[in-house]
Amino acid sequence: MSSYSLTKQLLATDEEGYKKATQSEFLKLAANGQLSKDVLGRWLANDRLYIHSYCRGLGLLLSFLRYPENVRRGQDPDAATKLLDWIVGALVNIRREENFFIDTAAEYGIEINLETQANGQVAESTKLEGLRRWEALFQSVARAESDVLPWLEAAVVYWGTEKCYLDAWSWAKAQLTVQEDPSKDADGGAVRKEFINNWTCKEFVEFVDDLGRIIDEAVAKEVEKMGEDFKVELFKRVEGKWQDVLQAEEVFWPTI
């Protein structure tokens, strides 16, 4: 019998919600180079601020991860240590991503700064509803009350956001119908030539799958230890966070 997969159960639990989170007119138009530089730039500006809250959330997660205090050479790392390695990679990737945004936007003449207040901060009313929701989600990252996988809810939030982002842009890429020279696109070719390939590349797929594997292996191990009924308890712990992820992602794509 195959091992239980929490991530597969999450994906299957609300297929309509997942579709809304990963398919939109904005994505379709972006993939075909039909978004103006202004519309694309405002979304990229929100996405860049999302990166900042993503990093702060990882800081909160790191603050309560617990690792084995005794180790042996050649010993397989435990789930928390694997998660630590993933987080280190995520921070490197996300900083590279922000620099990629800045450099690519400059190359294509796209403005990715939102209006700021006198204190240098962007007003809440200026942000996309999706950004506000993601900021709240990342700010809510905290240790679970249970001593069993106390990082599980937080890990599901991060796997959820990365999985939705990957599948959204993969879907968008599949909607591509425009064959003309990308330089003639409304955005100058920024999405078709630069962004969409970055957001659907093999390395990103592996990055998302790695976190899913860490979650599933850790959960399967606990289910094996505690019994099949324990699946229900673990799923109930993360079900609400999964819905929060889907709702935040749905409104992260601007209405066109």
What does the buried/exposed string (b/e) look like for 53-83 if buried means 16 or more CB atoms within 10 Å of the residue's CB? bbeebbeebeeebeeeeeeeeeeeeebbbbb
Mean pLDDT, residues 66-90: 93
Q: What Cα–Cα distance (Å) separates residue 253 from each residue in 30, 152, 155, 242?
A: 11, 27, 23, 18
Question: Could you tell me what percent of the chain has a pLDDT over 70?
Answer: 99
Confidence of residue 71 (pLDDT cuts 50, 70, 90): confident
Instruction: For residue 139, give the DSSP letter.
Output: H
Q: Is the pLDDT of residue 26 over 90?
A: yes
Q: H-type helices in 110-201, by residue range?
A: 129-139, 152-174, 196-198
Average pLDDT over residues 89-101: 98
| Nearest-angstrom CA–CA distance, 151 and 143 | 6
> How far is Cα 184 from Cα 173, in angstroms, rounded to an integer?
18
Give the pLDDT confidence score for residue 3 in this predicted structure: 82
Token pair 């797929």 is at which residue?
205
Q: Tell me the pLDDT tens digit for each residue of 220-240.
A: 999 999 999 999 999 999 999
pLDDT of 72: 87
State both tokens at 14.
């609300």
Tokens of 64: 């309560």
For position 65, what pLDDT does the model report?
96
- The answer to whether 151 and 83 have CB atoms below 8 angstroms apart is yes
Within 10 angstroms of residue 141's Cβ, the number of other Cβ atoms is: 22
Mean pLDDT of 2-15: 94
- The confidence score (pLDDT) of residue 180 equals 84
Q: pLDDT band at 1, cuts 50/70/90?
A: very low
- pLDDT, average across residues 104-110: 98
What is the architecture of the domain spanning 6-67+75-250?
Answer: Up-down Bundle (1.20)
Distances (CA, A) of 202 to 66, 176, 205, 207: 31, 19, 5, 9
| Per-residue pLDDT reduced to its tens digit, 169-223 | 999 999 988 888 999 999 999 999 999 999 999 999 999 999 999 999 999 999 9
Write down the pLDDT at residue 177. 87
For the chain, give the mean pLDDT. Answer: 96
What residues does each domain of the chain span? 6-67+75-250
* Distance separating alpha carbons of residues 200 and 129, to the nearest angstrom: 24
Percent share of the chain, pLDDT over 90: 93
140-162 pLDDT, tens digit per residue, is 999 999 999 999 999 999 999 99
